[in-house]
Amino acid sequence: MAHASGMHSLEFKLPDLGEGLTEAEIVRWLVEVGDLVTIDQPVVEVETAKAMVEVPCPYGGVVTARFGEEGTELPVGAPLITVAVGERPASASGSGDTASEGSGNVLVGYGTSEAPARRRRVRQERPVSGGSATAGQAGVAAAPVQAQAAAGPAAAVATQAGEPSARVKRQATGLGTDDGPVPVISPLVRRLARQNGLDLRELTGSGPDGLILRADVEYALRASVQGATAAPAAEPPPRVPQAPGPDLASRSSAPAAPGEIRTPLKGIRGAVADKLARSRREIPDATCWVDADATELMRARAAMNAASGPKISLLALLARICTSALTRFPELNATVDTEAREIVRFDHVHLGFAAQTDRGLVVPVVRDAHARDAESLTAEFARLTEAGRTGTLTPGELTGGTFTLNNYGVFGVDGSTPIINHPEAAMLGVGRIVPKPWVHEGELAVRHVVQLSLTFDHRVCDGGVAGGFLRYVADCVEQPAVLLRKL
């Protein structure tokens, strides 16, 4: 039992899944109490206001408790599971060389070669708190739970014999070492860094206890693009404190009066409500309209689909027109950094499009839409729409847009003044295409007419730019051959 005495329980809390999400609902547990889990193994599937997400655990060991039943809604920072981890006995460590234990990388997708959980050491302990946890019957003695700081997975790594005390001090501060874990919790932050080839060990986090936040990664990526050196030459911009998420346990619904039906604003509906309200508060938006004769665009699409190959969607053609217009009017492919009081323009177009699903309104994002042809856009629109309907869109597929295309014509309406998808700077709205009387080549004729609207952030441009953008879009709708200049 000497080995069991070296066991410690680490508490894994629901991480910040990004984009201001403050809560998630447990959909399905992927592990049972008593199961042996490895580092980065998904342990629970949760539904956020944006997508279904499998949450990986940064610890390896035996699951001793689970917090919450399926269907329970938990706030970010609430305990998910506790995991009993152990240290290598002194007799088994031999000469103390632990280099062969594994890579020690706890980032999702990097993996380890052996049981890296043995490399962890608890910094401080506290008794297991009460609640709805299910007690474990895995044969593991009740162990104290680590006092989990916000750095979570950045717990200190066990040091080797004879290591200098300075390294121990670095670990005590929650900062990663060359071969130890990195102080980062959010899977989105890990993936963002991995996709851009950024070494998180080179960053200094601005969060609690040195926790690396998404803002830190984005700041480092911007600095690298601007030619900054690898060493941190300046601190990341200070993070604006946000109000803590609501205490879900203390929520209580007001009693419904006779004839009333009360529906909690949570999940996707709650997230949409919060984002639209923020957009209205922060963005001084304006809208302009124009009617366009879409007859030639419809004929061009029919000709494309008459040929062999995949069918081209109307949304894809509108997207091609959008990306072409944004190259001429890049002011609208931007955002406003309110802290720095700067307008940030993008050299890429990540095009969001509004999609209505059974779970509510979602805005999936087509990455690098400016580099795609009509066939590629059609396929990606179809894939993301289907993922939205099945609830399998990832947070990465729902974030990062730079401009939004809103085809509200599918609802049978002509016009709208849509709310900008914060923090973007503009949205193009497309109404239904219907036969109407129209003067064509000096004569009255029945043509297919569409109303186009552009809602834009007046901070990024004046009416001349917005009007020029919308006029160019209308010209391309009326004469698709205009696009040949840019093909």
Closest CA to 294 of 435, 199, 422: 435
Q: Reduced to 3 states, what is the DSSP secondary structure of residue 468?
A: helix
CB 380 within 8 A of CB 353: no
Q: Is 440 an active-site residue?
A: no
SS3 content of the chain, % helix, strand, coil (to 5): 30, 25, 45
- The answer to whether 458 touches 286, Cβ cutoff 8 Å, is yes
CA distance 283 to 264: 26
How big is the CA angle at 289 (ends 286 and 293), to the nearest 5 degrees?
A: 160
Annotation marks residue 216 as catalytic: no
| Residue 474 to residue 100: CA distance in whole angstroms | 64
How far apart CA 172 and CA 210 sit, in angstroms, is 11
Catalytic residue among 16, 216, 462, 475: 462
Alpha-carbon gap, residue 14 to 478, rounded angstroms:
51
CA dist., res. 191 & res. 286, Å (int): 36
Closest CA to 29 of 67, 84, 77: 67
**Nearest residue to 46 (alpha-carbon basis) of 395, 364, 396, 357:** 395
Cβ contacts of residue 466 below 8 Å, gap of 6+? 286, 288, 332, 426, 454, 456
Query: Which of 445, 394, 457, 435 minimizes the C-alpha distance to 192?
Result: 394
For the beta carbon of residue 335, count every other beta carbon within 10 angstroms: 19
Of the residues 285, 422, 458, 475, only one is catalytic, namely: 458
Strands 360-362, 434-440: parallel, antiparallel or unpaired by DSSP? unpaired
Pairing of strands 351-353, 403-406: parallel
Copy the structure tokens of residue 439.
């003067």
User: Which residues pair with residue 125 across a beta bridge?
Assistant: 146
Closest of 454, 439, 431, 23 to residue 249, by C-alpha: 23
Closest CA to 296 of 430, 440, 406, 432: 440
Residue 140 CB partners (closer than 8 Å, separation 6+): 4, 7, 62, 64, 84
CB 410 within 8 Å of CB 430: no
Task: Name the residues annotated as catalytic.
Answer: 458, 462
